[in-house]
Structure 1
């Protein structure tokens, strides 16, 4: 169903309240017809504010009774012409998540296509233009503002044979979520997303025998691997319109605060916040991914390693903020509950991070699949017993990432 903005009222984001039915949002002068639906919580309003939304269009008739509307008086009743096409109407909770997850899946597919295109263009020696990536980055930022859980859940489903593409996409998405959590400006988030997509582009010039070696690299092979950052510096000279922030994300994600990183051996004083963030995100995603030479670890295990790398290699304060951003049990991670059921963390709970909503599908107690159920731990006697790396589970959880 499409919504006519002429039937909607433009209000300041500061007067948006729970129960209002939002049909569009505005960043500066750019209007986006968003996934329409009622505002579910103050947290959702805060997310919109943090992402730079200044105004919202709301439908009075579809809003909950009792809502008080204060239209802005500096614009005529006629609606601003939107820049993007509307999407489908939001439905009840599970269906609404379905809509969001379909959108997230589309964004991830587009990102992989972009990453592959960049690789092909690099091989062919063609000039790369940032414009195409910028449009995708805007979509990611809007999706994170509306429903970051759906994006996290889709990106958690991985294929080790497509590691380079998926790692680049995940780093980009995680950087946007992390930057939004820190309150960074939208323009900075966009540049960080672009930097994330291209951050490992230099690896296409690394010897495949080294890049895909199913064992620990020798010192000589590791030195060769480190050259991917040298190659990256050469390659990104062909990327037209690349910002300094995007360039830093690409070239600083292997630098360390004590100066022992590469390629430039930069020290803490030389590493801006987005450079420090890229190191944390890159390591986390690499640790939790299946590779040709190792199995991915659980988020809890990865967090321990990140903390062990502070304060010499990683910024301790930022590591704690990153853990707080994605949650002790991130959306998309597999967990075991105290009653033996196993499920996927489905929806985060900022107020009580140890009590998310979990999509249960298997019982370790009875060694069998169980009827799929969504357990909100805020209102349940069970709790999360531990996180599980997917490869340590007796069954394949991947089919249950879909709704």
Structure 2
């Protein structure tokens, strides 16, 4: 066996063969990442070296980077890498469009239409990985570009579940992508302010749907349906929204959808001035609306679309294991399909290869509560 100084061990390292403290005491099995607490325990016990017949596994493509939290390693699959590349490509293009709007330069709507078309196509093929990425895989602060893309993704999925015709889904997606472009014409010190807004600043912010409508219909020459959806997305079901304080079905359907998805997206996205909610908490907050802001029928479809525990959510099961939601159950929103990350005995599955449990079929296990990913990261490192 080769000897490895304890000082050379680092959290996240994996070896091709088991690593032993001595001839009889196993430290970690083969291919299982070392944890910081195990290294600290060796140091505390005064152990200077460990032994193994194996060699260090050299990680590639950034997967299982020791700098990643335990939670994030579970989200670093090749499929998520593809989604990340796709998302970042669209973000770069949309950022260019936003800059033109800020500068009041002419925008090529073919670029906007292509972004919408790509999102509709990819979500028809595979919505699960994309939803998981926007809820849990994206790690930066969400700005106007991310808000627009995420809202569009969610709006398209609601449109699918409403069985809207393809052209109506495209119109809905276009409205969702452009719903806040009017904010780009407001002073940065107001639109990006993290502190409390003055009454005057609030009134100025509330003009942004009108600016959005003018940009979408007059400058970009989109249809009145898309323009009105943009204009009305801040109206409320109870009539207490803005800019015109209309209510109920006087608000057109696309605007009622954008209202829900925009609010959910704002809750789950990290901002420079606040942290994000987990999907379950955001869903619970929206469900407590009681027909004040949102159309109750659209909320029902949104639940069907996202589930009570959205895809990617981390949950504590009744048997004390921790799992990730991989598929929602339309008929039983509280009983999704999950993949175990840490089982009841404490065994970890950082390679995302844990057992899959359909909670609708497996009656003996249920979701005890949703777990904040930051807590899981600490659990995996402690």
Provide TM-score, normalisation by structure 2: 0.69
Q: Distance in 2 between matches of 1:173 and 1:253?
A: 16
2:32 paired residue number: none
Given the alignment, which residue of 84, 90, 94 partners 1:105? 84
Q: Does 1:205 align with 2:185?
A: yes
Equivalent in 128, 132, 135 of residue 111 of structure 2: 132
Matches of 1:396 and 1:117, distance apart in 2: 40
Structure 2 partner of 1:385: 368
Aligned to 2:223: 243
Note the alpha carbon deviations across 1:74-124, whole angstroms, 9 max, x for none: xxxxxxxxxxxxxxxxxxxxxxx9776555434422331232022111122
Cα separation, 1, equivalents of 2:329 and 2:228: 32
Query: Are the equivalent residues in 2 in contact too, given 1:168–1:196 (CA < 8 A)?
Result: yes
Residue matched to 2:67: none
Runs of 4+ in 1 over 4 A off after TM superposition: 97-103, 362-371, 391-394
What secondary structure, in the 3-state scheme, does the structure 1 residue paired with 2:369 have? strand
Deviation of residue 366 (structure 1)? 5.5
Distance of aligned partners of 1:192 and 1:396 in 2 relative to their CA distance in 1, 3 Å threshold: farther
Distance change (3 Å), C-alpha of 1:341 and 1:110: same
Which residues of 2 match residues 356-367 of structure 1 at below 5 A?
356-362=336-342
Residue of structure 2 in register with 1:331 after alignment:
311
Q: In the alignment, which residue of structure 1 is the partner of 2:271?
A: 291
Residue-by-residue CA offset, 1:226-275 (whole Å, 9 max, x unaligned): 23223323332454341333323322211112322112222224211111
State the 1:224 CA deviation: 2.9
Q: Can you give the 5+ residue segments of structure 1 that lack an aligned partner in the other structure?
A: 1-96, 398-403
Q: 1:159 to 1:197 in 2, by over 3 A?
A: farther
Once superposed, what is the RMSD of the aligned Cα atoms? 3.0
**1:175 deviation in Å?**
0.5
In the comparison of the two structures, how many residue pairs are matched? 301
Match of 1:178 among 158, 162, 185: 158
Q: What residue number does 1:141 align with?
A: 120
- Structure 2: unaligned runs, 5 residues or longer: 1-75
Cα distance between partner residues in 2 of 1:396 and 1:160:
22
* Distance across 2 between alignment mates of 1:249 and 1:106: 30
Distance 1:219 1:391 in 2: 36
8 Å contact from structure 2 (residues 316, 368) kept in 1? yes
Q: Mark the structure with the bigger radius of gyration.
A: 2
Within 2, Cα distance between the matches of 1:262 and 1:364?
A: 50
Identify which of structures 1 and 2 has the higher relative contact order when contacts are C-alpha pairs closer than 8 Å and 6+ apart: 2
Higher strand share: 1
What does 1:298-309 align with in structure 2 at a 5 Å threshold? 298-309=278-289
Secondary structure of 1:128's counterpart equals: coil
Q: Aligned pair in 2 of structure 1 residues 341, 272: CA closer, same or farther (>3 Å)?
A: same
Larger CA deviation: 275-284 vs 117-126? 117-126
